[in-house]
Amino acid sequence: KGNYIHRFMKALLGGSHPWYKIRSAQKLLRLCNDYGNETVDRICDMAVSCEITDVKRISTLLQKEKKKSWQSRFMRAAKYFTK
């Protein structure tokens, strides 16, 4: 996995009771399978820089990223509409 995924995982599982967050860590790994390591690594970079350790937020950001890329797939350049 990516460097920022590793840093996010260390922040998530850090503390005196890391086993409380083991399900969240497993969810993050499943998100890597669903969205790809590079995309999750990029989102984890943003999360680590903002000190976010909530995997639900990561999931929401990934869903928004996927929706944004899906919409841009159908957009046409301005040159298409000129005569």
Tens digit of each residue's pLDDT (9 = 90 or more) over 20-61:
999 999 999 999 999 999 999 999 999 999 998 899 999 999
Q: Tell me, what's the pLDDT at 73?
A: 57
pLDDT value of residue 32: 93
What pLDDT sits at residue 7?
93
30-69 as b/e: b if 16+ CB within 10 A: ebbeebeeebbbbbbbebbeeebbebeebbebbeeeeeee
